[in-house]
Amino acid sequence: MTPQEFRNSLKDTEPPASLSPLLLAVWWDAKGDWRRAHEIAQDEDSRDAAWVHAYLHRKEGDLSNAAYWYGQAGKPSAKTALEVEWLEIVGHLVEVEFSL
């Protein structure tokens, strides 16, 4: 799967069966289900999960909680538009999962 194929899957009502939990989280976020995305992200334990978790709290507007999770991810707090960060996360996760 490529990042573009992932984005194309957003036209569907259900996510592709092959997605990892973190890609599933950002898929649900893009579909407008922040709560579902957050539940998935908080159940994972990795730097990538912390990054997704940080992004979700930033999107929610809880910047202090987001800052904590960016720290757990080993990343500075994002300053870019949310859409830009979402694309960066998707690109990274697709690369990691599908070894592009």
- When computed from its CA atoms, the radius of gyration of the chain, rounded to whole angstroms, is 12
Determine phi and psi for 83, rounding to 5 degrees: -65, -40
Residue 18: predicted pLDDT: 86
Q: Record the pTM.
A: 0.94
Domain housing 26: 3-10+20-98
Whether residue 15 is contained in a domain is answered as: no
Torsion angle in degrees (nearest 10) through CA of 87, 89, 92, 97: -110
Question: Average of pLDDT values for 83-93?
Answer: 97
Q: Per residue in 23-44, pLDDT tens? A: 999 999 999 999 999 999 999 9
| pLDDT score, position 100 | 53
Count the domains in the chain.
Answer: 1
Residue 80, in any domain of the structure: yes
Mean pLDDT of 74-91: 97
